[in-house]
Amino acid sequence: MRWCSSSAFHLLRCVRLRLCSRRGQNRLPLWIREIWAYMRLLAKSLYFNSLTDSDVVFDSVFEPVFLTVDYVTRWFGLVFVYLVVILTSSIVGIAYVVLLPLILNTYSPPWIAWHVCYGHWNLIMIAFHYYKAANTSPGYPPTEKHDGPVVSVCKKCIIPKPARTHHCGICNRCILKMDHHCPWLNNCVGHFNHRYFFSFCLFMTLGCVYCSISGRNLFLDAYNALEHFKHLELEKPGIPVTGMGLLIGLLPSGQTHYQTPAPPYTFKDKMIHKSIIYMWVLTSTVGVALGALTFWHAVLISRGETSIERHINSKETKRMAKWGKVYRNPFNYSRLNNWKIFLGVEKRSHWVTRVLLPSAHPPHGDGLTWAVFPVKKDLIPV
């Protein structure tokens, strides 16, 4: 009996080894098995995690889309910068070549002085703040150990994150008081260049509105002139001559149409009118779109928030409302204080020297530590 039981055991063992060897021969390649295991892990993470909600599912499903957008934005950042420079330069060129001679020939001296002074001031403010916003570092947290307060650890950088610091997937590093990554700057908007970004948006909107309003009548005249030119080109190049005209020899033999003179407009006239239309359409469109963005950022600054913090605070407000509590933004220091801190206004003269004139002064604070909870007194007395 012992011999029979041991023989049966060995037989079963041989059959199992042979089946395992056959399975090993039919195994898929390693890279396919790794992808399959990763997909199974992702699928299980969606329903094994007790904290799973609609945002987690949305982020997981659209993660490839986010990675593609980050990749394209990272590598095409300079293209967006060149586009901003080219479009702005084209408007400035039209203003100098077409509009300035008209202003000098038709407007009164006070209006000429107003247009020349305001136009050049606005242009200087746009160029200065765009250059500073694109070339100023937004601010990065220290990678070495420090004594400053931290609120979490970045899951990608594996370094401590101070308050209001977030990771940028395009720059691939953490940003102090990150607002967003701006492709038109090819740079992140953070603690040290947030004021430059907002000032650029504000003065670019003012410049577009200025061009749109002051060039409205010129746009209407140019559009009507082009329509008139189009009708003249559709007309026949001559006037038919019949009856007595042919008998008295008004035309040479064989010619039946009297040739009209050349049209009273030239190629230069066409280009001038088209340039005015191009300038008005572009500035009006950009003025509306950028004006809406500037207004939204002004609302966020008044509340002491960034674009990312607005999303976080709204979620916290809903979460605490379920518990019957009211959430307050710890970085909201009242509307006036928020603007003074954001603009770096420390005395009354700074409203002119630091707001209405180009200024490269640093922002308030180092971006690592923040005074929390609302206060009633002015943080920066003016």
Residues 6+ apart with CB under 8 A from 327: 313, 316, 317, 319, 320, 321
**Residue whose entry in the numeric block shows the structure tokens 């659209």:** 62
Residue among 182, 188, 201, 211 flagged as catalytic = 182
Cα distance between residue 242 and residue 67, in whole Å: 75
Q: What number of other Cβ atoms are within 10 A of residue 297's Cβ?
A: 21
Sheet strands (E) in 203-291: 238-240, 257-259
- Ramachandran angles phi, psi of 7, nearest 5°: -65, -40
Cα distance between residue 138 and residue 189, in whole Å: 6
The question of whether 182 is a catalytic residue gets the answer yes
- Picking from 87, 106, 113, 90, the residue whose alpha carbon sits closest to that of residue 218 is 106
366: tokens are 């180092």
* Crossing angle of the two packed helices 267-303 and 77-94, in degrees rounded to 10: 120
Active site residues: 182
